[in-house]
């Protein structure tokens, strides 16, 4: 017991003194959280979509009637600075549409809406035919865009998407009464009101932090100790392997607990996250996953003898597992052969579980699976370690 405590102190203090350990355990996940929140928290929120549109009005009024003006007003009602805006109308111009092509070709605008010369005549005819109950063809406005340019393609899609609203707007101006129709929404698994991207990503970052610590502070360190014969030196002393492994494991676990609170407090105090950092279930589940990651770290440490090889392997393993865990974005529509990696990825289950325990949203996987799959990884790691005769190697 005493020697286990000594090992715990030595390894914990050595990690706290080592700038590489501090970097991977504390700085890296904090920086990652900072970058992700800064990058993604504004994407997709109202006001972040802004396409630049040019309207070319070529329409000629028919006996003083100008439907084109109503159309332009409809587009204006859907553009900034109105609160439901999707785009900015860069300019409304008369003349030829060709004059505006260069603006789209060289990214000064994303799309051009052309109101053709006979627009008023066609709308007038359509309205008349509609009143008489006769079939009619709609008047067309042309949306010029670049099919191979992302902003331009999106702008064309957005204009297409608002055409129903444009028609409704124009009709409301002609005293056409829209039917009462209520639109409501319901959020399934709502645990907190309006979670932000920080709330979404914090559980994942906490898991990544623990996983990186497990991989990079356990595997390479064991490989380093093996390479420098530290293990052999321990073996010549009366300390038992059990003391070493207990002390070593708990030193990493303690570091991970510090890491948990550091990241959670950073998310709550700096980024105003509303995650429940003191949730007992979250802490218990976190400790459980930490043990699994430490075991995986042991596997890697015993699989290779060179610390550089261990570092390289952990980097290679880390990236795919992170991206296939739904930490940064939710995962949808993946082909079955990629899904196999997702379904067997312990980080995916851990992220789902932590989101639920930290009160962000219900786990998309059943909770028993969130425990069972990581536990399987833990069992597999233990079996692997027993085949490597870990106890005898020390």
Site for another protein in 192-221 (CB under 8 A): 192, 195-197, 199-201
**Residues 22, 258 contacting (CB under 8 angstroms):** no
Stretch that binds another protein, among 55-63, 97-105, 239-247, 273-281 (CB under 8 A): 97-105
Q: Which listed residue (25, 166, 294, 310) binds another protein by CB under 8 A?
A: 166
Q: How far apart, in Å, are the Cα atoms of 119 and each of 123, 285, 354?
A: 6, 64, 57
**Residues 134-153: x/- map of binding to another protein (CB under 8 A)?**
--x-xxxxxxxxxxxxxx-x
**Residues 350, 229 contacting (CB under 8 angstroms):** no
Which residue lies nearer to another protein by CB, 95 or 161?
Answer: 161
Which residue lies nearer to another protein by CB, 173 or 393?
Answer: 173
**Residues 319, 32 contacting (CB under 8 angstroms):** no
Residues in region 12-51 near another protein by CB under 8 A: 20, 23, 28, 31-32, 35-36, 39-46, 48-51
The answer to whether the bond into 339 is cis (omega within 30° of 0) is no
Query: Is 107 a binder of another protein (CB under 8 A)?
Result: yes
Residues in region 292-331 near another protein by CB under 8 A: 312, 316, 319-320, 323-324, 329-331
End-to-end CA distance of the chain: 18
For residue 22, what are its two tokens?
Answer: 């501090």
Bin 44: left if φ > 0, else alpha if -120 < ψ < 50, else beta.
left
CB of 282 to another protein, least distance (A): 15
Q: Which listed residue (3, 69, 77, 167) binds another protein by CB under 8 A?
A: 167
CB of 195 to another protein, least distance (A): 6
Report d(CA 282, CA 279) in Å as an integer.
5
CB of 206 to another protein, least distance (A): 15
Report d(CA 275, CA 351) in Å as an integer.
13
Query: Is 334 a binder of another protein (CB under 8 A)?
Result: yes
Query: Is 285 a binder of another protein (CB under 8 A)?
Result: no
Residues in region 339-378 near another protein by CB under 8 A: 352, 355, 360-364
Report d(CA 324, CA 286) in Å as an integer.
19
Which residue lies nearer to another protein by CB, 114 or 299?
Answer: 114
Whose CA is closest to 293, among 394, 374, 363, 361? 374
Report d(CA 361, CA 188) in Å as an integer.
9
């Amino acid at each position: 017991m005493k020697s286990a405590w000594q090992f715990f102190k030595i390894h914990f203090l050595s990690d706290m003194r080592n700038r590489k350990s501090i970097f991977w355990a504390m700085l890296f996940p904090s920086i990652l959280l900072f970058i992700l929140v800064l990058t993604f928290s504004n994407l997709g929120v109202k006001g972040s979509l802004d396409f630049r549109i040019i309207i070319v009005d070529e329409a000629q009024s028919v006996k003083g009637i100008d439907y084109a003006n109503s159309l332009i007003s409809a587009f204006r009602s859907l553009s900034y600075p109105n609160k439901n805006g999707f785009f900015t109308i860069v300019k409304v111009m008369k003349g030829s549409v060709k004059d505006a092509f260069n603006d789209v070709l060289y990214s000064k605008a994303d799309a051009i809406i052309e109101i053709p010369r006979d627009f008023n005549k066609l709308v007038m005819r359509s309205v008349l035919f509609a009143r008489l109950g006769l079939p009619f063809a709609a008047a067309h406005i042309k949306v010029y865009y670049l099919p191979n340019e992302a902003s331009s393609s999106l702008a064309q899609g957005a204009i297409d998407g608002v055409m129903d609203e444009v028609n409704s707007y124009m009709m409301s101006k002609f005293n056409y009464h829209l039917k009462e129709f209520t639109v409501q929404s319901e959020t399934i698994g709502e645990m907190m009101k309006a979670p932000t991207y920080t709330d979404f990503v914090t559980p994942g970052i906490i898991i990544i932090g623990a996983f990186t610590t497990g991989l990079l502070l356990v595997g390479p360190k064991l490989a380093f100790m093996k390479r420098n014969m530290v293990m052999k030196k321990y073996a010549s002393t009366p300390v038992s392997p059990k003391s070493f492994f207990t002390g070593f494991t708990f030193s990493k676990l303690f570091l991970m607990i510090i890491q948990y609170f550091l990241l959670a407090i950073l998310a709550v105090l700096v980024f105003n996250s509303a995650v429940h950092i003191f949730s007992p279930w979250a802490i218990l589940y976190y400790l459980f996953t930490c043990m699994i990651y430490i075991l995986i770290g042991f596997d890697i440490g015993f699989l290779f003898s060179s610390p550089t090889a261990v570092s390289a392997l952990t980097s290679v393993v880390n990236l795919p597992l992170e991206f296939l865990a739904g930490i940064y974005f939710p995962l949808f529509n993946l082909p079955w052969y990629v899904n196999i990696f997702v379904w067997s990825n312990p980080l995916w289950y851990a992220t789902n579980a932590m989101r639920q325990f930290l009160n962000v949203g219900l786990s998309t996987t059943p909770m028993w699976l969130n425990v069972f799959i990581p536990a399987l990884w833990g069992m597999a790691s233990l079996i692997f370690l027993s085949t490597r005769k870990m106890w005898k190697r020390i």
